[in-house]
Structure 1
């Protein structure tokens, strides 16, 4: 399974690492704090557990084209090195995994090698999936074998030379891949280890919340420190700096509520993260989500987020934008976000004292004003309130002005936004 390599943090705080995660089937046992599942008593139990894990991993998001057959693949996955297409995971003998064994499937997840031994591209996040237990991998395999087989040919990756040579991945793997299941930390609690297993495994949260270098590898020395997601033009904020989305001053209930429902008194999730919550996190057990929150809150808050490339404006022009933005905010935004910027949470999130508004990178608030969006519709947030798009109503300078105003008002400590940066983001992909 694979997930789109994107994570959107809107103009309001979004906190959890792309939390598409494997979880223990409810009622299963734990061993040394990891998600070791008790052996199901029947094939039906195993399939049900696997379905739960696949839902938790949001496999359908990448392996299903909109309007297409579930898990039949074919979704284009754009990368800086070319476009790949998600494979067919249905049990079709010719085009799917019908002839794959349990060992074949586990090897793919654990070592990043296909049935024929060929190397898989790391858009399939085996760097994280290697941590998933054999028991969980076998359950997912059992579920995938139980669904409707679909005969749909897999598409050839559109990768230019030398990236179309899979053998070139040997060097990449040497640098960036370490095989091995999750090992619990005996100094931490069972709950903490459970959360670490979930976040580090199928959750592959570092794929978005860790900066990527020119070779497409994550800088593990800056894990969870945030970065701009290649080609997606969304900024995944640092989870290790309270200047961005660090969780040091969030309590566990606030983190858990945001992950589970997509909204909280502190903020709401929009964009691709809303899809994550809608498709996956809302179906997780409360214990699983809380365990993730425990682990995420424990991430050391010791370093500032990496500086993001930002077009700067002169002090004089910044003052002009601030004054213009106040007028636009008063006419367009006050009804939902209030004159004092405190909003009406959880439906209309606060902008005042909102870390995601003030981050060095203004990408996310610019995109929210341009494109708008909705928090996810979940069982705990059945009728989410949306943010309307202003791309057709406001010019580049007007959007720069209102974003500048919300970044610099009510005690916020952001910097002015350049109209050129707004223009650059007008053509950014919406998903």
Structure 2
């Protein structure tokens, strides 16, 4: 049966590849004329390099292109996906294993078109679906910065994708479905601040790569924009980013957003999991103007349709009542009986998007395994959350998380003990 399903999938992919080639394969975008004017002197301009460093930080390039304990930007790690492992390349200017022999034209083609130096299609673990919106001038600055780094000799691991995803030509089909090449075009009806925020969120920030659900082919349909989704292989849920009615950040002010991105904590919650790493390595270094621009854009996202809760086949009221007792015993001293927390110390649970996100995954894993807020310049000694996996059973974790999700102003679904068991035995990244 598995082989039959794979065969059917391969046939579908081949058909889409053919259609993609017919509609997209014949078109070739010429290299912009400005490319030929890039000289060695241009790439050595200190102001351009400094700007590129800032932009590479906004894009959190080091977050993927640095192995744990390894040299910054030197790759040397593999990115786990549902389809297998994809090597993360070295982007230092080493001539054998990095970008030392790359021209800016090569770099622009990768960032903007998702194609390698020799025209090969790149796997979309590299977020060119977002980076295509980066402007020519910003791409040039980033390339100048990367070329200024000390070269590090670090070969990439081998590609380890499952069939048929290991067939690179199949990416033609994927790109036909999910990739639209093109720089960000400012909206003349919006303010410069809004457009700057939209450019950062949609492009360099590549926020939609985590904050939107992916389908069985690993793609995000075009109508899903920052609507929230589970991050593949990381077992965290990236919340919806709308601050409007039924949004994941409903009730957040612009200052709440700025505070979280700058310090790792706000009056509405604290960054944990993958977002803590993003804050530590990227967003805390953003300028105040750029932080305000991002907040302005996120506050413009539309209201969301309310989720319809599935009928419960068990006594949810009894679970919540049990959870209240556990909360009083283990949680209330820090987070308060009313779930309001202590400002600047312990995050609130009432109205916290990590508590109320649709799956209950984040709150469950935090109760089980604890976590650490990011260390930032504005918050150098954050408080951590202790783990309760050894103290509480699956049913007890289910109860206390369900209580938090259905108390105060929160009105999310309960979490079942079998879900807790699944999360308990799933590795956390």
Specify which of 249, 256, 263 is matched with residue 246 of structure 1: 249
**Could you say which residue in structure 1 is the equivalent of 2:195?**
193
Give me the whole-angstrom Cα distance separating, in 2, the residues matched to 1:134 and 1:62. 22
State the 1:353 CA deviation.
3.6
Alignment of 1:165-314 (within 5 A): 165-240=167-242, 242-247=245-250, 249-304=251-306, 312=312, 314=314
Specify which of 336, 343, 346 is matched with residue 341 of structure 2: 343
**Could you say which residue in structure 1 is the equivalent of 2:23?**
none
Which structure: greater helix fraction? 2
Give me the whole-angstrom Cα distance separating, in 2, the residues matched to 1:74 and 1:194. 33
SS at match of 1:103: helix
Higher RCO, 1 or 2 (CA under 8 Å, sep at least 6)? 1
State the 1:355 CA deviation.
4.4
SS at match of 1:78: strand
**Could you say which residue in structure 1 is the equivalent of 2:146?**
144
**Could you say which residue in structure 1 is the equivalent of 2:155?**
153
State the 1:303 CA deviation.
2.6
State the 1:41 CA deviation.
11
State the 1:359 CA deviation.
3.5
Alignment of 1:31-180 (within 5 A): 43-180=45-182
Specify which of 412, 417, 420 is matched with residue 418 of structure 2: 420
Assess, with a 3 A threshold, how the Cα gap between structure 1 residues 135 and 411 changes in structure 2: closer, same or farther: closer
- Would you say the 8 A contact 1:244–1:356 is kept in 2? no
Give me the whole-angstrom Cα distance separating, in 2, the residues matched to 1:100 and 1:354. 45
**Could you say which residue in structure 1 is the equivalent of 2:383?**
385
Assess, with a 3 A threshold, how the Cα gap between structure 1 residues 263 and 313 changes in structure 2: closer, same or farther: farther
- Would you say the 8 A contact 1:358–1:412 is kept in 2? yes
State the 1:42 CA deviation.
6.5
Unmatched tracts of structure 1, length 5 or more: 1-38
- Would you say the 8 A contact 2:197–2:290 is kept in 1? yes
- Would you say the 8 A contact 1:266–1:345 is kept in 2? no
- Would you say the 8 A contact 1:210–1:224 is kept in 2? yes
Cα deviation code 1:346-369 (max 9, x no counterpart): 311112243442333211110110
- Would you say the 8 A contact 2:246–2:303 is kept in 1? no
**Could you say which residue in structure 1 is the equivalent of 2:362?**
364
What TM-score does the superposition give when structure 1 sets the normalisation length? 0.86
Assess, with a 3 A threshold, how the Cα gap between structure 1 residues 255 and 116 changes in structure 2: closer, same or farther: same
Report how many aligned residue pairs link the two structures. Answer: 388
**Could you say which residue in structure 1 is the equivalent of 2:408?**
410
- Would you say the 8 A contact 2:394–2:421 is kept in 1? yes
**Could you say which residue in structure 1 is the equivalent of 2:28?**
none
- Would you say the 8 A contact 2:44–2:144 is kept in 1? no
Cα deviation code 1:31-74 (max 9, x no counterpart): xxxxxxxx989611121111111122211111111111111102
Give me the whole-angstrom Cα distance separating, in 2, the residues matched to 1:103 and 1:412. 51
Give me the whole-angstrom Cα distance separating, in 1, the residues matched to 2:311 and 2:128. 36
What TM-score does the superposition give when structure 2 sets the normalisation length? 0.86
Instruction: Output the aligned Cα RMSD.
Output: 2.0
- Would you say the 8 A contact 1:194–1:292 is kept in 2? yes
State the 1:180 CA deviation.
0.7
- Would you say the 8 A contact 2:246–2:305 is kept in 1? no
- Would you say the 8 A contact 1:343–1:349 is kept in 2? yes
Unmatched tracts of structure 2, length 5 or more: 1-40
Give me the whole-angstrom Cα distance separating, in 2, the residues matched to 1:68 and 1:354. 35
Assess, with a 3 A threshold, how the Cα gap between structure 1 residues 355 and 138 changes in structure 2: closer, same or farther: closer
State the 1:371 CA deviation.
1.2
SS at match of 1:220: coil
State the 1:288 CA deviation.
0.5
Cα deviation code 1:176-210 (max 9, x no counterpart): 11111110000100111000100010111111111
Between 97-106 and 159-168, report the one with greater CA deviation: 159-168
Give me the whole-angstrom Cα distance separating, in 1, the residues matched to 2:42 and 2:295. 28
State the 1:312 CA deviation.
4.9
Report which of the two structures shows the higher radius of gyration computed on alpha carbons: 2
- Would you say the 8 A contact 2:339–2:408 is kept in 1? yes
Give me the whole-angstrom Cα distance separating, in 1, the residues matched to 2:192 and 2:409. 40
